[in-house]
Chain A
Amino acid sequence: MRKLALSDEILLQIDKPARYIGEEKNSIMKNAAEVAVRFVMCFPDLYEIGMSHLGIQILYGMFNSYEDTWCERVYSPGSDLDDILRKRNIPLFALESQDPVKDFDFLGITLQYEMCYTNILQILDLSHIPFHADKRTWDDPIVIGGGPCAYNPEPIAEFFDLFYIGEGETSYRQLLDVYKTDRANQVTREEFLRHASTVPGIYVPSLYRTEYKEDGTIASFTPLFQDVPKTVRKEVVGNLSESFYPTKPVLPFIKATQDRLVLEIMRGCIRGCRFCQAGQLYRPIRERNIEVLKQYARELIKNTGHEEICLSSLSSSDYSHLEELLLFLIDECDANKINISLPSLRIDQFSLDVMNKVQDVKKTSLTFAPEAGSQRLRNVINKGLTEEDILGGSKMAFEGGWNKVKLYFMLGLPTETEEDIKGIGKLCNEIAKVYFDTVPKEKRNGQKIQITASTSFFIPKPFTAFQWASMNTQEEFREKAFQTRCGIIEQLNQRSIKYNWHDTDVSVLEGIFARGDRKIANVIEKAYEKGCMFDAWNETFHYDKWLESFDECGLSIDFYTTRERNDDEIFPWDFIDIGVTKAFLLREWKNALAGKVTANCRAQCQGCGAASYGVGFYCPGGDQK
C-alpha cells in the first residue's frame, strides 16, 4: 500500500483530505527507479479547480504515454494545510508518488489566469525551491510555465527557468530528450538552459536582457547570445485528429468544479472579436475530424463511467459538423444514460431543437453575449451579433417555451459613451417587449420573463487589437456600472430585468499583470510576503496589500492600466510570434477606432498571419480542407 506524505493526524484535521492522497481512477503509478524523467504538473489553485482543466489531462496522459517519463500532479494546498506544512516544515509533495516536488526533474506550472501568480510563489515556497531562477541549482527541478498567460510571461519571468509558448503536444518530447542527454553528459544547469532555448517554442527568460527608456517603456529586448533566438514562435498542433487525446482522464473522488467529460472539438475561432485574446492566440482554426470525435466520445464513456459530457471549443456553433456530432451524442448519451451539457450555441431553430431534446421540461436559460449595448460599439469590438439576431433568437425561444434570458456585457470598452451604456438597458427592455408580444397572457402559466444582465470590466490583453488601448480607472468602472443600473431602472419593463456586476479591484490587478513587464515581479514577491495568496478568490483577496506593494516598489499602476500606448511602442511580449502579426493587430485597432467591421475567417481571409502555419481550416493554403 502507498505511504502518504501526510500522517492520519494531519489528514483528519484538514478540509477535504481526499485532495491530497492521489489514488484517483486513471491516475498513473510507475516505478520511480525505472524512469529517466520525473515531471510534476501543477495547476496553482485548489484541487477542485485544477482537476477541471483539460490541458493538464492532455499533457499528463501524453507524458505518461512515454515509457521513460512519469508525470504526476500537484495543486495549491488549501490554507489549512498550507499552515501545517509551514509550521512542521513538511515539503510539498506530488499526489501519485507522494514524493517531494523538489526531487523532480521538472515542475510544470500551467498559467490559466493572471490572478494565480502569488500561488506560484506559494508552490515554490512550500516545495523549498528558490523563487528566483538564477538561485536554483541541479538540486531543484527545472521550473517551466505554459498556458495562455505564458504569452506575456514577463511579470513572472524571474520565477521560471523556461516557458513553453504554444500548444504542449508538439515540443515536449524534444525538450525531454535534450534534458536526458544533458544530464547524462553532466552539463551545468546554465548549459542545459542554453540548449533548451533552441527547442521550438521554448523561451528561456534568463537569456534575454530588457533595456528601458526614461519613460519606462521598453527600448530593446535582446538575447544575450548569438545562438539564442530573437523571437520565440508559438507551437501549434498541425493535425488535431492525430494528436494525443486523453480518453482515460483522471477521475477525482471529490467533485471537481467542472465535473464532466470534455470533448475538445476544435481550436481557434473564426470570429475575430477585438477584445478577445484566446481568439488570436489559438489561431489558425483547426477542427477535429468528426469520426475521431465520435470514437473519443465512446472511449471516454467506456473508460470512466461518467454521467456527463460536454463539448469544448471557443465557438462550438462554428464547428462544421456540429449538427451531426450533437445528434450522435444525443443518441449515444441516451443509450448510456449520460447528460449532455451543451456549450453556448448561437440561438437558431436547430440549437433550440437540440436544447429541447437534451433538456426536456426543465428549460434552462438562453444566453447571449452582445458584449456591448449599442450596434456602434459592437462594431468597434467586431462582435458580429446584431440586435435583430438577439430579438429574433429570443422570439423563437419564447415561442418554444423559454422565459429566461442571460446577457453578458463589458464596460469600459474603447470609445464607449453614455449612449452605449444606456443601450444595455434598452436592449434588455426590447427583449422583454418581445416576450410580452410573443407569449399571450393565457400561455404564460403564471410564469414571468426573467432577464439577467451581467457586466464585467474590459481588460486590454496582449495579442489583441486592444493591446494599445487605455483601461478605465476604478472610478470610471464604478460610475459606468452605476449608469448601467440607472439605464435599466428607467426602462418600462425594469421589473423583469436583474443586473449583476462584480467589483473592480481584481480587474485592476488583472490589467496590470496582463500587460506587465519584468518590473512587476518585485511587486508580486512583495505582495506574497505580505500574505497575498489565492487572489482569484474574493475572500482571500487583499487589494490594500497590493497597493502597498506597488508603492514600496515605486511603480505606477496607471503606467500599466490607463496609459494608452503609441502605435510603435515595444511591448514586453513582442518577442513572441503567434503567427498573427502586430501589423494586422494595429490595422484592427485602427478599424476599431473607425467603427469598421472586419469579416470572419470563413467569409474572407483577412491576412492576419496565422496562415503561415499552413494548417488553418479556413486559411489559404491550409492543408486540412
Chain B
Amino acid sequence: MKLRVRFSKFGPVKFIGHLDIMRFVQKAVKAAGIPVKYTEGYSPHQILSFAHPLGVGVESESEYFDLEVTTLDGCEHFKVNLNRQMCEGMSILGVYLLPDDTKNAMASVKFASYRVELHHKDASDLLSDAVERFIASESVLSYKETKTGVQERDLKEAVKEISYVKESNNGEKNAVIFTADASSGGNLKPATLMEALYRPFDITFNPWDYQIIRTEVYKEDRDGKPVPLSFGLEEL
C-alpha cells in the first residue's frame, strides 16, 4: 500500500539539506512504528521517496514524500505518531492513500509555486517594476553554463504565473509570487528567476538577500491543469 505524506519546513531546520532531511524522516518513520516496507536484498532500505528536493535555506509550506507500507493496520494514528517524531519547524500536515498505479512522487511533479520575500532594499523598491516588466516582455532569457557550453532558456515559457505583494499590515513582506516548471527535465530554480527579474536594473543577489518559501508542489490533472500533489487523494 502506498501513502503520500505532506509536510512543512520552517525556521532553523531550513539549514538542513535534502539528504539529511531524508535520513531524518527515515528515522522518524521507523521510530513512529509505521509498518514501512523495505526493499529486498542484503542492505534493505525503506521504500520512501521525496517529491522534490528543497535547497538549503529554503522554507516550505507544502512538501511531499511517498512511502509504501506492508499493512494499514497500525497506521490509524500515522499523522499524530509521526508528528511526535518531528523537530520544531517540521510538521506533518496530511497523509493520503495513493492508488497502486500512481506514478512515484518525483515523476508526478510538474510545477512548484514560490513566494520570495525580499530583504534587499533596492530590489524591494523596484519590485513592481521588475515583475511588470517581466510580464510585459515577449521573452526573458536566462543563461546557464554547462559542460557543453552556455545554455539559453526562455523563462517566459518556464514561468506559468507571476505576481507580487506589497508589504501589508498583516505582516506580509514585499514578495514575488510565482508558479514555475518543476519537472525533472525543466526545473526552474527561484534564484534563476530572481536574477532575471532584476537584471534590467543591474541588481544581483546573494542567497541571503531574500527568503524563498515554497508554497505548493503540483502535478497535472487530466486536463493538464496544475493541482497540488495531494489533489483528489483520500486522506487516511
Determine whether the beta carbon of B11 is less than 8 Å from that of A25.
Answer: no
Q: Given A23-B12, A253-B24, A302-B31, do A12 and B17 touch, yes or no (CB 8 Å)?
A: no
Residues of A within 8 A of B28 (CB): 25, 305
Q: Which residues of chain B are near A4, meaning CB under 8 Å?
A: 12
Within 188-236 of B, Cβ neighbours of A (below 8 Å) are at 206-208, 211
How far, in angstroms, from A22 to B12 measured CA to CA in the complex? 9
**Is A498 on the interface with B (CB-CB < 8 A)?**
no
A residues in contact with B44, CB < 8 Å: 337
A437 contacts partner chain B, Cβ-Cβ < 8 Å: no
Query: A11, A253, A362: which contacts B42 (Cβ < 8 A)?
Result: A362
Tell me whether B85 is interfacial, beta carbon within 8 Å: yes
Partner of B12, one of A21, A25, A254: A21
List, in ascending order, chain A residues with CB within 8 A of B30's CB. 305-307, 336-337
Q: Is the CB of B10 within 8 A of A23?
A: no
B133 in the interface, Cβ–Cβ < 8 Å? no
Chain B positions within 8 Å of A337 at CB level? 30, 38, 44
The answer to the question of A24 belonging to the interface, with a C-beta cut-off of 8 Å to chain B, is: yes
Most-contacted residue by chain B among A4, A253, A255, A360 (CB, 10 A): A253
How many interface residues does B have (CB within 8 Å)?
A: 32
Q: Is there an interface contact between A17 and B27, defined as CB atoms closer than 8 Å?
A: no
What separation, in Å, do the CA atoms of A361 and B42 have in the docked complex?
8
A23-B88 in contact given A2-B11, A4-B12, A305-B30 (Cβ < 8 Å): yes
Q: Which of A7, A11, A13, A255 contacts B23 (CB 8 A)?
A: A255
Which residues of A lie under 8 Å from residue B20 when comparing CB positions?
A: 18, 253-255
User: Any chain A CB within 8 A of the CB of B94?
Assistant: no
Dominant secondary structure at the A interface: loop
Q: With the chains together, A399 CA to B10 CA distance in Å?
A: 56
A2 to B89, CA, bound (A): 10
Q: Please state if A1 and B10 are interface contacts (CB–CB under 8 Å).
A: yes
Q: Is the CB of B16 within 8 A of A305?
A: no
Q: Is A214 in contact with chain B by the CB < 8 A criterion? A: no
Given A17-B56, A23-B88, are A8 and B208 also a contact pair (CB < 8 Å)? yes
Judged by a CB distance under 8 angstroms, whether A251 is at the interface is: yes
Q: With an 8 A cutoff between CB atoms, is A239 at the interface? A: no
Contact mask for chain B residues 11-45; partner A; CB cutoff 8 A; 1 contact, 0 none: 11101110011011011111110000010001110
- What is the minimal beta-carbon distance from B57 to any residue of chain A, in angstroms? 5
A303 adjacent to chain B (CB < 8 Å)? yes
A25 touches B42 (CB 8 A): no
Contact mask for chain A residues 296-319; partner B; CB cutoff 8 A; 1 contact, 0 none: 000000111111000000000000
CA gap between A305 and B43 in the complex, in Å = 16
B80, CB-defined interface residue at 8 Å? no
Q: How far is the CB of B190 from chain A (nearest CB, A)?
A: 14
Inter-chain contact A251/B27, CB cutoff 8 Å = yes
Interface residues of A in 229-279 (CB under 8 A from B): 251, 253-255
A12 surroundings in chain B (CB, below 8 A): 56-57, 206-208
- The answer to whether B141 has its CB under 8 Å from any CB of chain A is no
A388 within 8 A of B: no
Is B24 a contact partner of A25 (Cβ separation < 8 A)?
yes
> 1/0 per position for A145-174, CB-CB distance to B under 8 A?
000000000000000000000000000000
Interface residue count for A (Cβ, 8 Å)? 32
- Among A251, A339, A360, the one with the most B-chain Cβ atoms within 10 Å of its Cβ is A251
B87 at the interface (CB under 8 A from A): yes
- Chain A residues closer than 8 Å to B10, beta-carbon distance: 1
Q: Does A9 contact B (CB under 8 A)?
A: yes
Chain B residues with CB under 8 Å of A18's CB are 15-17, 20
* A254 and B38 alpha carbons, distance in the complex (Å): 23
CB distance from B99 to the nearest CB of A (A): 26
Please indicate the chain B residues that have their CB under 8 angstroms from the CB of A21 in the complex: 12-13, 15-16
| Contacting residues, chain A, for B11 (C-beta < 8 A) | 1-2
Residues of A within 8 A of B15 (CB): 11, 17-18, 21
A4, A23, A303, A360, most chain B CB atoms within 10 A: A23
Which residues on the B side are within 8 Å of A339 (C-beta)? 43
Q: How far is the CA of A546 from the CA of B5 in the complex (A)?
A: 56
Report Cα–Cα, A147/B85, bound state, in Å. Answer: 32
Whole-angstrom CA separation of A22 from B31 in the bound complex: 20
Please measure, in the bound complex, the distance between the C-alpha atom of A363 and the C-alpha atom of B56, giving whole angstroms. 38
Residues of A within 8 A of B27 (CB): 25, 251, 304-307
With a 10 A CB-CB cut-off, give which of B10, B12, B23, B206 has the most chain A CB atoms. B12
Whose C-beta in chain B lies nearest to the C-beta of A11? B15
Question: Which chain B residues numbered 78 to 127 have a C-beta less than 8 Å away from chain A?
Answer: 85, 87-89
Cβ 8 A contact of A8, one of B32, B42, B57, B88: B57
Q: Within the assembled complex, what's the spacing in Å between the Cα atoms of A13 and B207?
A: 9
Q: Output the least CB separation between A371 and chain B (Å).
A: 33
CA distance in complex: A204, B38 (Å): 55
CB distance from B83 to the nearest CB of A (A): 13
Contact across chains for A1 and B12 when beta carbons are under 8 A apart: yes
**B31 near A304: Cβ-Cβ < 8 Å:** yes
> Which chain B residues lie closer than 8 Å to A302 at the CB level?
31
Residues in chain A near residue B12, CB distance under 8 A: 1-2, 4, 21-23
Q: Which residues of B contact A11 (CB under 8 A)?
A: 15, 57
Report chain A residues within 8 Å CB of B32: 305
Known: A254-B16, A307-B26, A307-B30; 12 extra A-B contacts, CB below 8 A, are A8-B57, A8-B211, A9-B208, A12-B207, A18-B17, A18-B20, A25-B24, A25-B87, A254-B17, A255-B20, A306-B27, A336-B30
Return 9 A-B CB contacts under 8 Å, by A number. A2-B12, A21-B12, A21-B13, A22-B12, A23-B12, A25-B85, A253-B21, A302-B31, A306-B27
Smallest CB-CB A-B distances: 6 pairs? A305-B31, A305-B30, A305-B27, A9-B208, A17-B15, A21-B12
